[in-house]
Amino acid sequence: MNVSFFQELLNSIAERGRALLDGSSAAASGSTLTELARSLLSGRGEASGVALAGEILSAYSRADEAGKLEFFRFLLNQLTPDQEEVFTAARAYLEDASQKTLSELEMAVESPRQEFFRRLNLAPGATRCIVAMRADLIAMLPQVPELRLVDADLMHLLGSWFNRGFLVLRRIDWSTSASILEKIIEYEAVHEIRGWEDLRRRLDPADRRCFGFFHPSLVDEPVIFVEVALTAEIPASIQDLLAAQVAQDSEAKSPTTAVFYSISNCQVGLRGISFGNFLIKQVAEDLAKEMPSLKTFVTLSPAPRFAAWLVRTANEDGSQLDAETVTLLEDSSWAAHAEYHERLKSVLMPLVAEYFMVARTGNGSPVDPVARFHLGNGARLERVNWLGDKSARGLRQSHGVMVNYLYDLDDIEKNHEAYVNKGKIAASKAVRSLVTSSARTKLDNKKRKEADMPANATAAVDE
């Protein structure tokens, strides 16, 4: 798909259009971003539209922080439905609620920002710029929360454009172009890739795989990618997995287990538009087809809020840990001293089980965000791995704990429905048996309280 060829041609048209703009309106060269934006919507010609769209993207790219903020405020305050029209249409509907008045009301309230962004997309390379524009906008939201309305329009549009029906799965390997591979190094969010040699170890060996979703308009970077290891059993430690020598030939040819050990979203500007669920399932299907020996599809995942939760519950309910343990856990040096391992393990493992199986956020969801993702996808919490991640970050965030989520293709839908509709957490017997009776009591209390609550806030250990 020769997009660059396409966009090159668009360029020339845009340039020509720009020349016209310069000529016809003396002010054009000095036009502010907001003046240009206004023209784009009022302009009636398509050709000038392309030129104007190009102008706007170019002016935007040159703008500083203040200029961008001004532009977003313009979108917020000016590209807004005409109040009188909305009044009229709203009154008409209230008087006579017909499909005709509804349709007129719908048209009256539609944010002109949506049409603005659609026209902006005429310019060459615009989709990429619009995604980047939203990344800028997201960064401003904490300071300027009212821009959420602009963000809602952008996300609405990008959600439609980046509909999964338009994404394409492609394998990423050592024969992939360097321009894409450097994005993999840059975007890997979970387990840092330290340069090209490290990247090669993730992609090139016969027992490693990487797949990404690509959108035709973002040709040289994925929107999301997943790294996979093909192994003989479910792995318990990320360091062991990454350090592993390439499996012996025979093993590499008939691995039984595909381990999804890292999933990274690449585009901040697409935040809130989720692809991960789909990517995992598609890759699982793909691998199962390619290698019939693969029977087990599993993750090796962090428990990123465990340590924080432990502190918080201690503050709220009184610590479940004795003072010495608390002291030990304060820094991560214990991990280097094998003599502490057994004791800490016996103390922490039940708490990990409680963290995953019993603890809930205010709205009744599991506390662990990774758990929410995989359970929501229909996976099952399969195993808790003591000292699965001995990296500084792993010890700090989760006292080294990692977990495996199992994607059993036959149960995915059932687990997903049970989780979404009844809040049931699918877990293996081994994990469930780690939950202590006192934790179980807390859970029962929760259940009782939630009896009257709507279904999706319920939570249950499935026994």
Please list every residue from 136 through 155 that binds a copy of itself, using CB under 8 A. 146, 149, 152
What's the min distance (Å) between Cβ of 388 and a copy of itself?
28
Please list every residue from 199 through 238 that binds a copy of itself, using CB under 8 A. 200, 216-217, 220
Q: Confirm or reject binding of residue 12 to a copy of itself (CB under 8 A).
A: yes
Q: Which is nearer to a copy of itself, 314 or 409 (CB)?
A: 409
Please list every residue from 302 through 331 that binds a copy of itself, using CB under 8 A. none
Measured distance CA(377)–CA(360) in Å, rounded:
18
* Cα angle for residues 324, 325, 328 (degrees, 5° grid): 90
Measuring CA to CA, which residue among 379, 364, 352 is closest to residue 447? Answer: 364
Q: Which is nearer to a copy of itself, 279 or 367 (CB)?
A: 279
Q: Which is nearer to a copy of itself, 36 or 335 (CB)?
A: 36
* Cα angle for residues 244, 299, 166 (degrees, 5° grid): 115
Stretch that binds a copy of itself, among 77-85, 248-256, 332-340, 389-397 (CB under 8 A): 77-85
* Cα angle for residues 93, 97, 98 (degrees, 5° grid): 110
Q: Which is nearer to a copy of itself, 172 or 434 (CB)?
A: 172
Stretch that binds a copy of itself, among 7-15, 255-263, 304-312, 364-372 (CB under 8 A): 7-15
Q: Confirm or reject binding of residue 105 to a copy of itself (CB under 8 A).
A: yes
What's the min distance (Å) between Cβ of 379 and a copy of itself?
11
| Structure-token match 């999706």, residue found | 456
Q: Confirm or reject binding of residue 290 to a copy of itself (CB under 8 A).
A: no
Q: Across the strands, what pairs with 380?
A: 406
What does DSSP say about strands 460-461 and 424-425: parallel, antiparallel, or unpaired?
Answer: parallel
What's the min distance (Å) between Cβ of 318 and a copy of itself?
37
Measuring CA to CA, which residue among 285, 435, 276, 449 is closest to residue 369? Answer: 276
b/e sequence 302-323, b meaning 16+ C-beta within 10 Å: bbbbbbebbeebeeeeeebbee
Please list every residue from 352 through 411 that binds a copy of itself, using CB under 8 A. 377-378, 409
**Of the candidate residues 254, 361, 421, 438, the single one contacting a copy of itself (CB under 8 A):** 421
| Structure-token match 């499909």, residue found | 99
What's the min distance (Å) between Cβ of 9 and a copy of itself?
5
**Of the candidate residues 61, 65, 78, 159, the single one contacting a copy of itself (CB under 8 A):** 159
Rg (CA), the chain: 27
Stretch that binds a copy of itself, among 174-182, 323-331, 339-347, 444-452 (CB under 8 A): 174-182
Please list every residue from 83 through 102 that binds a copy of itself, using CB under 8 A. 83, 86-87, 90-91, 93-94, 97, 99, 102
301, 332, 365, 398: which is the annotated catalytic residue? 301
191, 215, 374, 399: which is the annotated catalytic residue? 374
Stretch that binds a copy of itself, among 74-82, 232-240, 243-251, 305-313 (CB under 8 A): 74-82
Environment class of 109 (CB within 10 Å of its CB; exposed 0-12, middle 13-18, buried 19+) = middle
Residue 215 appears among annotated catalytic residues = no
Q: Confirm or reject binding of residue 3 to a copy of itself (CB under 8 A).
A: yes
Environment class of 132 (CB within 10 Å of its CB; exposed 0-12, middle 13-18, buried 19+) = middle
Instruction: With beta carbons less than 8 A apart as the criterion, state whether 151 and 137 touch.
Output: yes
* Amino acid identity for residue 197 in this structure: E
Number of amino acids touching a copy of itself (CB under 8 A): 90
**Backbone torsions φ then ψ of 301, nearest 5 degrees:** -125, 150
Residue 301 appears among annotated catalytic residues = yes
Q: Across the strands, what pairs with 460?
A: 424
**Of the candidate residues 45, 145, 272, 369, the single one contacting a copy of itself (CB under 8 A):** 45
* Cα angle for residues 246, 187, 278 (degrees, 5° grid): 80
Catalytic residues: 301, 374
